[in-house]
Structure 1
Amino acid sequence: MKTLFLLPTATVLAATLLAACSDVAATPEETLRTARIETVAAPTGLARREFVGRVEARYTVDLAFQVSGRLAEFAIAEGQMVEEGTLIARLEDQDYERALREARVQLQQARTHLERQQTLHERGIASDAALEDARTAFELRSVALDTMRQNLAYATIEAPFTGLLSRRLVDNFTTLSAGQPVARLQDLSELRVAIAVPESLIGTLEAPGSYAISARFPFLADRDFPLEFRELIAEADAASQTYKVMFALPPGIPGNILPGMTVNVRVQLDQENMPGGDAVRIPVTALSALPDGGFQVWVFNPDTSEVVARPVRTSGVEGSSVLVLDGVQAGEQIVTAGVSGLSEGMRVRPMVPSGAVAHNGAAR
């Protein structure tokens, strides 16, 4: 009986020792944080960008009378080309003609009175003050006559330049106030194309040698029109934070191209001649903010699986990518997702096999 009792005890002891050894061997490995890792790609030598542009006239002016009255004549139809000096519209001018005649009569009276006072002053009858009052009255009547003459001229509108009367803003016989627009005139001597450009490209587009630009219209798909830089509107759009840049279309373009039409604008950027030509683009999600207002990225070491923080200098955000001027180089691997929970020297595991961050910010 004693022998039968000792055998199970020995068996249990052996099983316990084996289980303890098994627990030591099964200790789990260190748990690594998962992060998306991508490789920064080298910038291409020539980057292509496309924009949607809008055709604009060189000048667009809303014409208006400088005096009030009822519209008597609208001499030009919409869509008609007019030469400089051509009559466009005229007010009923009877009241202005009557005021002009009255001013002439009053001026003649003032002249007669002044001559009389001068004669009396020479004879010593009229005082110096009376002569001065007569001279002042004559000058005031002269000014009034000039004003009435100018008002009569203001009752007509003539084309200030040769252009297209694109729109009539009022109907004939309408009673108008001074300064109320009546017609829109556009100078088509040079048609221009306006595009909205992000801040990172402003410096480049002001240097014509660093890019080539052309326009293509949907109804002329087989023709490209070269564009020439004209001006930059230096105030950013409040909503999109982009800047308006104006380019000139070449002379001799087809006559069916008019202001207001949309056009596809293609820009070929010579990366080598661009400011920051060695810069790379990375996803915005790779950036984490620093206390001083700057940014940093987390660089991944594939040999040790560790990440280290590195400050970077950025230029501008375009969509989902950001231009990095320095701080990270092509070929390095960076964390592009899950950066908020990283710390210096932390070991991470790639979420997916390492890809390549294309120059436009998309993963290859």
Structure 2
Amino acid sequence: MRIVSWNWRKLFFNQKLTKRQFLTKSVIFALFALLLVLAWRLPSLRAKAESDVAGQPSQAQARLLPVETFTLEALTAYRATRAYTGQVVARQTSDLSFERTGKLVELAVDEGDRVTRDMILATLDTQALRATQRQLQAQRAQALARLAEMQSGPRHETIEAARAQVHEQRAELALAGLQRRRRQQLVDKGVIAREEFDAADAGVKTWQARLDAAQRRLDELLAGTRREQIQAQEALVAQFDARLAALAIDLDKSVLKAPFAGKVARRLADTGMVVSAGQALFRLVEDTRPEVHVGLPPHVAAALTPGSRQSVRIGPAVHQAQIARILPELDPATRTVLAVLTLSLPGESERQHVVVPGQVARLDLQETIDTPGFWLPLTALTKGERGLWACYALVPDAEGDASTLRTESRLVEILHTDNSRVFVRGLLQAGERVVKTGTHRLVAGQRVQALP
């Protein structure tokens, strides 16, 4: 004992210490200071712990995970917005061409130009047609003059000339008869030969024939032109009129006009080309009031009525449209019924959004589906068994107090998705409380505490 006390005295009061003795001395002083601090703070720490234990719940209850919940409400149907995709189509699109072959001498418009109805777009060379027209007009004038002559009848001078010719032929016939009688007497006396009498007899017959022809000519002039001849001449005039009308049609077809107002989408020919009948020169598109063609399921199309107004989204803008017609046939490729909507004239706020044929259009329709189920937020869903979806319903915990609940997995079937919520059906009951968020932190059978 004496040796120990001496060592302690030597350790604390010796002025010259070794390095090891110095370290030992420092540790002892630190432990002594720590003991003094603990002795001073121990009563206050004990009092604080007792107060905390009295004012807080039990340790098991403090470990319960708080969850946000909501109460299920049973529904017999739900309304869903279905978007059906279609296309903007021009009411009229035409590849314009001539109906006859010819040389293209003028193009009045170019691509992108706006045209009005009956505006001249192109012209063919018509020199040959003009020459033929003048020839037919001259022949028609000649036929008309002949017809007028027939309808007026022969002139008085012509009739008098024919009558004079009859008198002349009658006088000649009388002279020839007299000469024949003389030749007959001479033949009977044997003065002349029989041949001279035969010649006189032939002369009588010749003048008789001439008199008959002159008389018929006079009778024809006195009777006037026959009705059949006038009708034949009238038919000839009508033939010339028909040929001139056909030529006028060819001249009219030498000028290509716009059948409707619109814009020239494409130009397919140049000046100087020889184009054939039916060869496209321009593609003209009517862009004043375009249409929207949308394919709809038959049951959806049956619920629509022509004339009803709908909203159509084209690009960033929403346009008002009216159902013009619904086709009665089913498209064999898409198995849909085509609905045609006419876009209304754009307002001041919509004029900046140009509608061009070929754009994609979406028709939004509200449908009511008669199916019982529940609306759930997307955050309430979790992966279930065999790839199905599930949610956590809260049921009372038999081993805990009234505020302690237990999670129970319920499989559900998603019927419709609407932005941040889904309409489901499954093993759920109206009035049950379901976990709203934080399902990734939960498992089936876990004890939780519902937030108020």
Q: TM-score range by the shorter chain?
A: 0.5 to 0.7
| Cα distance per residue 1:178-207 (max 9 Å; x no partner) | 333321222222122222222221112326
2:252 to 148, 153, 159: 153
8 Å CA contact 2:306–2:326 kept in 1: the answer is: no
2:144 is paired with a residue whose SS is helix
Aligned residues: 245
| Cα distance per residue 1:80-109 (max 9 Å; x no partner) | 111223210111111221222122112112
8 Å CA contact 1:107–1:138 kept in 2: the answer is: yes
8 Å CA contact 1:107–1:145 kept in 2: the answer is: no
What one-letter code is carried by the residue in structure 1 that aligns with 2:354? I
Instruction: Tell me the equivalent position of 1:102.
Output: 135
2:314 to 202, 216, 220: 216
Q: Distance in 2 between matches of 1:141 and 1:243?
A: 55
2:223 is paired with a residue whose SS is coil
2:359 to 262, 267, 273: 262
Decide whether aligned partners of structure 1 residues 268 and 152 sit closer, same or farther in structure 2, where only a CA change above 3 A counts: same
**Aligned residue runs from structure 1 range 1-364, under 5 A:** 42-44=76-78, 46-120=79-153, 124-206=223-305, 212-217=310-315, 221=316, 223-252=317-346, 253-254=350-351, 257-271=354-368, 278=370, 330=372, 355-356=412-413, 358=415
8 Å CA contact 1:65–1:179 kept in 2: the answer is: yes
Decide whether aligned partners of structure 1 residues 135 and 207 sit closer, same or farther in structure 2, where only a CA change above 3 A counts: closer
Q: Distance in 1 between matches of 2:269 and 2:262?
A: 19
Overall identity of the aligned pairs, in %: 23
What is the CA-CA distance between 1:70 and the residue it aligns to?
1.8
How does the TM-score come out when normalised to structure 2? Answer: 0.48
What is the CA-CA distance between 1:263 and the residue it aligns to?
2.6
What one-letter code is carried by the residue in structure 2 that aligns with 1:260? P
How does the TM-score come out when normalised to structure 1? Answer: 0.59
| Cα distance per residue 1:26-65 (max 9 Å; x no partner) | xxxxxxxxxxxxxxx9542x32111332222222223222
Q: Distance in 2 between matches of 1:136 and 1:172?
A: 42
2:123 is paired with a residue whose SS is strand
Q: Distance in 2 between matches of 1:200 and 1:116?
A: 78
Decide whether aligned partners of structure 1 residues 114 and 72 sit closer, same or farther in structure 2, where only a CA change above 3 A counts: same
Decide whether aligned partners of structure 1 residues 255 and 123 sit closer, same or farther in structure 2, where only a CA change above 3 A counts: farther
8 Å CA contact 2:314–2:361 kept in 1: the answer is: yes
What one-letter code is carried by the residue in structure 2 that aligns with 1:237? D
What one-letter code is carried by the residue in structure 2 that aligns with 1:251? L
* RMSD across aligned positions (CA): 3.1
2:300 is paired with a residue whose SS is helix
Decide whether aligned partners of structure 1 residues 256 and 269 sit closer, same or farther in structure 2, where only a CA change above 3 A counts: closer
2:117 is paired with a residue whose SS is coil
Q: Which protein is richer in helix relative to its size? A: 2
Mark the runs of 5 or more structure 1 residues left unpaired by the alignment: 1-40, 272-276, 281-329, 332-349
Q: Distance in 1 between matches of 2:226 and 2:291?
A: 68
What one-letter code is carried by the residue in structure 2 that aligns with 1:198? P
Instruction: Tell me the equivalent position of 1:7.
Output: none
Mark the runs of 5 or more structure 2 residues left unpaired by the alignment: 1-74, 155-220, 374-385, 389-409, 418-422, 426-452
2:138 is paired with a residue whose SS is helix
Q: Distance in 1 between matches of 2:358 and 2:319?
A: 14
Q: Which protein is richer in strand relative to its size? A: 1
